[in-house]
Structure 1
Amino acid sequence: MVTAHDYAEAERIASVRISLDGSRVVYTCGPRYTKKTAISSVWIANISRAGSATKLTTGDHYDFSPVFNPLSSNEIYFLSNRHGASHLFKLILNNGNQMEGEPRRVFEFDGPYTVTSFSISPDGCTLAFVYRSDRDRGESKPKVWRKMENPGMVGLVDLKDDSRTVRQLVAHAAMHVESFIWTPDSSAIIYRVCQNNDMESQHATMMEHMISIVTGHIESTNYYPRLPGDVVCKSNRQLFIIQPRTPEQLMETGALWARRMGDEMHHLGYGDDDQPFSITDLGSSTSQFAISIGRGVNSSIDVFNLSTRMFTAYQTKDEKEAILDKVWDMKFSADGLYILVLVLSSIVTGEPPNVWAVTLDSTGKQLQKVKLSSHYAWLRPEDIPIGQVVTWESSDGTQLQGMIHYPRGMIESELKSLPTVMVPHGGPEIRDVPEITFDALYWKILLASEGYLVLSPNYRGSSGRGEAFAKQGVPCGNLDWDDVESMITNCIQRGIVNPGRLAIAGYSQGGFMAAFACSRPHPKFAFKAVIIGAGVTDGGALAASSDIPDAQAFLSNSYPWAPGNYVDYFRASAIKDACHVRAPVLFVHGEQDERIPLAQAIGFYRGIERVAHTTPKPILVVYPEEGHFFRKAANVEDMLNRIVQFLDRYMK
């Protein structure tokens, strides 16, 4: 069975990148949660050889974002915190996937700076990178709220020049460089600037500039209502961008758009009943790119030639496997083959996350599929609970999908004997798919291993179903909650859920659902136990205190700065209905959570303590040095063990 300790010890695969010739793939893997400091290693594999993944760097440091030199599959550049602040390093490979010597710094700074991202020009001649000052890090001194401090800048290094002198290309005192890409001819970069270097600025208007690396002159500018997603630049400086289907809309499902620098955008596809997640360039010598798509619980990788969709390179089938949406890469090699590398897992078959390579011919026909890595070798399929996709109809006739998880080896007629936990996902723009994940905020696999039937609906507002489906989830506490209830009702009618042994638990938006569920004045179901992980309980107060205030206000339709909005301000806030709580409640929350601050838990706790009719008193566990996304292994293990123990106390 899978335990809380397994979660705390789990690995994370990230940053998959293929060499331009398609012969090798590099990626990172390391502990998902830290014991002392974060660590991660660079790994290498031969595309055509099964089980060839090997570790390159020791894992004594945090090595991340590796890429090959566009001109050589024997040179890897990566970021690392070895020797202090994050900096850029280079390692050389021999033909046997072994390092020649130790990684070395690519250049030296004249001052305390941190490199946050980088990219090598398509011609392999110039290195561009985003960096910021590290001078004031760790200092305790008065600060002006949201005053720009240490904005991102862009530097250049000529890789043909042995001096490796840093030349500053972009520096805005009042703007933060968020990211950049190269033009295919290597003559310019296109960079994005935000009004500040915080999360709040990502939901505000931003600009995109194209600047010559020779003259330093800005050649053209694009404007966006808020920060868009992935982008690639192809011939004639055409941009292909993932951004909301309705660009001005907050918390909107993504779509594929195209534009030339300085021109208007036009919608190319997706976003009506599906959703793109990430995009990658197949190479500067081709006009092709690939894009990952979510359709319900399934995923695919589609290939485009400029504005024309060519073929689907990979498609999850029969709802039995999942692609890790943003951890993949694809290249079109000089010999006319497509090379796709992605991370696959399956909760249906018990296949843990690993790196796979798929080779396709020039028409998109699959020639070979090879498993390159053997991470999680200690985890046997029989130890993993089973998950399956279920479908049902909500009360308004909408067709819905979700997942159920339960101990492997059980059949459907036996499931009613299990206690049931409803675990809605967070987000809300996330979806539950047939994956194996050890993210500490996803409790489904752990609870199913502990003998529970776990229900997880992709309710209105979830990703992968398009714009209309996403919009129906706002404001929260309406159709999204109706979808949660309808899944329980459907499972009761199917004979797999005992309504007398039902609990609800969730984190973030799932925590909102749990708080909302236990505080209904006229509940449809009597939950025996409730777990609220970093849950929203007061929408207006959250909008005033979260690091993404506009998004939070939009989700709950609670704008505390808007006069006359008091009805909506509290409509979906569980705190106003604390008197109706009857079930035992466990809160778990990071002390330094800026997304959903600790005050959300404290306020609801106090309300339950004062006006509810529940025994025993609620329990609030606060985890020091944790934000919204937990980082420390000890805290992860403690939190998950407390969740299981709390449910066992009231459900078994």
Structure 2
Amino acid sequence: MSRSLIRIFVFVAVAASMYWTADGQTAAKVPTIDQSLEMYSVGSPKISPDGKRVVYEQTRTNWDANAFETDLWIADVATGERHQLTTTGHSCNPAEWSPDGKWIAFVSDRPGSLPKSPAEKRQLWIMPADGGEAQQLTKMEKGVGGFEWAPDSQRIAFSAEAPEPKPMKDRKESFGDYHVIHADYEMTHLWSIDLPKTDEAARVSAVGEPKEITKEDSFSVEEFSFSPDGTQIAFSAARDPDLISSFSKDIYVVAVKDGVVKKIVDMPGPDSDPHWSPDGKQIAYVTSNGEKYFFYANQKIAVVDAQGGTPRVISDAFDEDPDLLKWAPEGIYFSGLQKMSSSLYLLDPASKGIKKMAMPGSEIAGSFTFSKDFKQLAYRGAGTNQYAEIYATAALPEGSPRRLTHAGGQEAQYTLAKREVVRWKSGDGTEIEGVLYKPADFSPTKKYPLLVVIHGGPTGIDMPVVSADRYYPIERFVAKGALVLRPNYRGSAGYGAKFRALNVRNLGVGDYADVISGVDYLIAQGYVDKDRVGSMGWSEGGYISAFITTSSDRFKAVSVGAGISDWMTYYANTDITPFTAQYLRATPWDDPEIYKKTSPISYISKAKTPTLIQQGSADKRVPVPNSFELRQALEDHGVPVKMVLYDGFGHPINKPKQQRAVMEENENWFGHYIWGDPLAPALTPRPNDKKDDKDPAAK
């Protein structure tokens, strides 16, 4: 809600939580932008081996450090009692239980306790599961990536880059810092650290130096898992760490004792995320199955003999990307999307049959984790118009879930929008779904402004759950009297392989048709003011919004967040070059016409819509030349445009103060062009109020 500079200061800095109707009556209480940014979320549950406790992550906003941080909490499944495990003011995640249930390991950038620990590098820590001080295990020069406990709880394997080699240090000494493109790679490898068999009080203090398990310069390790007997590790690795090399990921097995490596899957396209069968004889993994255009094709689950051989795809019956979880005695568990729901599935490797597991009250569930006997389950779940919470079940598959957290209580004091699923036909007859946000006092006899908020991806998806606003102050827009449509345009996840491929060689064009047909559908319902429509989005959502800017005069305002304006510019600058070549089925040198057809900049002569452009200055995914190109073209054509560059940020804007700026810029822009509020020339600073980082749920 934009006003004069003074009123912006008063409303945002003090308590901008009330909106008024024309007669001065209070219409709704909504969170301020700061209050939205301070709302915490819960996630990544990990259930103990005996199923009695769950460790989970809870976010925290640290305004002083300008950071979103993560703490570990623990809940008792039987009683629901919970308390905070880590309180350092630094992020601690992820967490994993030792198989014997005695220890919890995690990674953190907290200050190190070991001598010569690199500052601000994420290291491996361990703490007693029953309480006690956490102690540092590693002091890797470049920090630690993923990790996993050995089955005997006596060692932990982790991934990390090796210390900088002497030749590189010598080069820097002589020539200073520089790097060669597609060279100078720093490979990630597997390491292990043993925990000596001593009494628990002295156990950690006796830890030795990590041992490097893999050393080859021909691959860079990604996901990995121990064999059931702990003697081997299966892992996926690409030829180098470049994102564009993901097509080269294959599956390997390494002997922990001597480091002997054997490649057991060697196919075109990425193969990843290996998991052992309970008897250690087979390995399940996720594969593109040789698909050339794997960016939008279905990934599949395949099984291969642990010694190598011909892989066997077993998940063809699931028309979406399966997220492989665990191989249990009863089958392989995976999670996946089906339209706007997500759930747990059990796959029979022999028959290839798939069973969907019931999640009562959590139609949108994920982050599943299992007890050692696979009888207990914890997960993150939500239903329509609900905030995501952590749940645990007493038994699979028919156990009743118990809610362990109450994060949704943060929203209780506010009047929130009501979310509902809507469907319409696009121009070519394709059915499109979306989430429509309505004011709590919605009346079909009124005319409302309509704001379209478009997700990224394109294989993202929007669902009708409640979450704290980031980037766009949606709840504030709705409370001010707008409807908000979040379309799952063609290419979105959850609707199967054919739907995801509908924007192949049709990017922007088909996506725009899906959005504009949704706008037309809502106008036809009689409750949308067709003269007050706006659009916004980040990444692919920013690209579609840029397409709207240059292709339509029906929108009054647009906000382009880190969006593509010219696919040729994008192709030559991005860190994910194959994405464009796969979706457009050509390089710009081979088929410049398809690049022209799908680029918003090609239609710039039609542009009339006032456009806000926002992006991080160090964005490698959608490089900033795209934003400069769009800004200059709009300026040359006399279209109102404002560009905001967030210094030092990559593709996401992931710090609270800059997210505050992103949200206020959008509120200012749409407040002016949709509601006629004064357009503030700049954001107004506010006092550095002391923020309360404590969790109300802990009281």
TM-score using structure 1 length: 0.88
Residue 342, structure 1, aligned to residue 389, structure 2: no
For 1:436, the aligned partner's letter is: V
| Structure 2 counterpart of 1:330, from 370, 378, 400 | 370
Structure 1: distance between partners of 2:556 and 2:534: 5
Contact 1:450 1:644 in 2 (8 A): no
Residue 451, structure 1, aligned to residue 481, structure 2: yes
For 1:212, the aligned partner's letter is: A
Q: Does the C-alpha gap of structure 1 residues 2 and 270 become closer, same or farther in structure 2, counting only changes over 3 Å?
A: farther
Counting matched residue pairs gives 617
| Structure 2 counterpart of 1:352, from 373, 378, 387 | 387
Q: Does the C-alpha gap of structure 1 residues 12 and 157 become closer, same or farther in structure 2, counting only changes over 3 Å?
A: same
SS of 1:142's equivalent? coil
Structure 1: distance between partners of 2:240 and 2:452: 39
Contact 1:347 1:384 in 2 (8 A): no
1:580 alignment counterpart? 606
Residue 388, structure 1, aligned to residue 420, structure 2: yes
Contact 2:287 2:302 in 1 (8 A): no
Residue 41, structure 1, aligned to residue 71, structure 2: yes
Contact 1:384 1:408 in 2 (8 A): yes
For 1:575, the aligned partner's letter is: I
Q: Does the C-alpha gap of structure 1 residues 71 and 309 become closer, same or farther in structure 2, counting only changes over 3 Å?
A: farther
1:433 alignment counterpart? 463
Q: 5 Å matches for 1:263-302?
A: 263-269=309-315, 273-276=319-322, 278-281=323-326, 286=329, 288-302=331-345
Residue 603, structure 1, aligned to residue 629, structure 2: yes
SS of 1:214's equivalent? coil
1:119 alignment counterpart? 148
SS of 1:153's equivalent? strand
Q: Does the C-alpha gap of structure 1 residues 167 and 389 become closer, same or farther in structure 2, counting only changes over 3 Å?
A: same
Structure 2: distance between partners of 1:151 and 1:245: 25
For 1:54, the aligned partner's letter is: H
* 1:64, distance to aligned residue in structure 2 (A): 0.8
Q: Which has the higher strand share?
A: 1
* 1:32, distance to aligned residue in structure 2 (A): 6.3
Q: 5 Å matches for 1:114-513?
A: 114-133=143-162, 135=164, 141-160=177-196, 162-202=206-246, 204-234=247-277, 235-244=279-288, 247-260=291-304, 261=306, 262-269=308-315, 273-276=319-322, 278-281=323-326, 286=329, 288-307=331-350, 308-309=352-353, 311-315=355-359, 321-323=363-365, 325=366, 327-331=367-371, 333=373, 338-346=375-383, 348=385, 351-361=386-396, 364-365=397-398, 367-375=399-407, 377-380=409-412, 382-411=414-443, 413-414=444-445, 416-438=446-468, 440-441=470-471, 444-475=474-505, 476-513=507-544
Structure 1: distance between partners of 2:629 and 2:667: 24
Which range moves more in the overlay, 304-313 or 116-125?
A: 304-313
Which range moves more in the overlay, 59-68 or 298-307?
A: 298-307
* 1:554, distance to aligned residue in structure 2 (A): 2.8
Structure 2: distance between partners of 1:503 and 1:310: 43
Which digits, 9 at most, give the CA deviation of each residue in 1:349-377, with x for residues without a partner?
Answer: xx32221112334xx22x32211112353
* 1:418, distance to aligned residue in structure 2 (A): 1.7
Which range moves more in the overlay, 538-547 or 487-496?
A: 487-496
Q: Which runs of 5+ in 2 are unaligned?
A: 1-29, 113-118, 198-205, 676-699
SS of 2:568's equivalent? helix
Structure 2: distance between partners of 1:486 and 1:239: 46
Which range moves more in the overlay, 425-434 or 19-28?
A: 19-28
Contact 1:288 1:305 in 2 (8 A): yes
Which digits, 9 at most, give the CA deviation of each residue in 1:86-133, with x for residues without a partner?
Answer: 211111133xxxx22x10123x55x73421111012232332111114
* 1:598, distance to aligned residue in structure 2 (A): 1.3
For 2:485, the aligned partner's letter is: L
Q: Does the C-alpha gap of structure 1 residues 198 and 219 become closer, same or farther in structure 2, counting only changes over 3 Å?
A: closer
Structure 2: distance between partners of 1:381 and 1:408: 14
For 1:633, the aligned partner's letter is: P
For 1:466, the aligned partner's letter is: G
2:593 alignment counterpart? 567
Q: Which structure is higher in RCO with an 8 Å CA cutoff and minimum separation 6?
A: 2
* 1:513, distance to aligned residue in structure 2 (A): 0.8
1:594 alignment counterpart? 620
Q: Which runs of 5+ in 1 are unaligned?
A: none
Sequence identity (%): 22
* 1:450, distance to aligned residue in structure 2 (A): 4.0
Q: Does the C-alpha gap of structure 1 residues 2 and 330 become closer, same or farther in structure 2, counting only changes over 3 Å?
A: farther
Q: Does the C-alpha gap of structure 1 residues 174 and 220 become closer, same or farther in structure 2, counting only changes over 3 Å?
A: closer
Residue 91, structure 1, aligned to residue 127, structure 2: yes
Q: Does the C-alpha gap of structure 1 residues 439 and 129 become closer, same or farther in structure 2, counting only changes over 3 Å?
A: farther
Which digits, 9 at most, give the CA deviation of each residue in 1:129-184, with x for residues without a partner?
Answer: 11114559998712112323332111122334555342211012242112211122
Structure 1: distance between partners of 2:641 and 2:605: 13
Structure 1: distance between partners of 2:577 and 2:62: 28
For 1:322, the aligned partner's letter is: I
2:16 alignment counterpart? none
Contact 2:234 2:275 in 1 (8 A): no
Structure 1: distance between partners of 2:289 and 2:394: 32
Q: Does the C-alpha gap of structure 1 residues 342 and 497 become closer, same or farther in structure 2, counting only changes over 3 Å?
A: same
For 1:369, the aligned partner's letter is: P
SS of 2:69's equivalent? coil
Q: Does the C-alpha gap of structure 1 residues 648 and 547 become closer, same or farther in structure 2, counting only changes over 3 Å?
A: same
1:76 alignment counterpart? 104
Residue 20, structure 1, aligned to residue 49, structure 2: yes
Contact 1:88 1:105 in 2 (8 A): yes
Which digits, 9 at most, give the CA deviation of each residue in 1:17-73, with x for residues without a partner?
Answer: 1111111111222236875255321111112333x232111042221111111012x
Structure 2: distance between partners of 1:289 and 1:6: 42
Q: Does the C-alpha gap of structure 1 residues 224 and 295 become closer, same or farther in structure 2, counting only changes over 3 Å?
A: same
Q: 5 Å matches for 1:48-67?
A: 48-50=78-80, 52-67=81-96
TM-score using structure 2 length: 0.82
* 1:253, distance to aligned residue in structure 2 (A): 4.2
Q: Does the C-alpha gap of structure 1 residues 462 and 236 become closer, same or farther in structure 2, counting only changes over 3 Å?
A: same
For 1:421, the aligned partner's letter is: L
* 1:409, distance to aligned residue in structure 2 (A): 3.1
Structure 1: distance between partners of 2:476 and 2:370: 33
For 2:378, the aligned partner's letter is: V
Contact 1:20 1:70 in 2 (8 A): yes
Structure 2: distance between partners of 1:643 and 1:309: 48
For 1:146, the aligned partner's letter is: H
Contact 1:28 1:42 in 2 (8 A): yes
Structure 2: distance between partners of 1:643 and 1:245: 43
* 1:400, distance to aligned residue in structure 2 (A): 2.2
* 1:567, distance to aligned residue in structure 2 (A): 0.9
Residue 635, structure 1, aligned to residue 635, structure 2: no
* 1:441, distance to aligned residue in structure 2 (A): 4.5
Structure 1: distance between partners of 2:481 and 2:384: 16
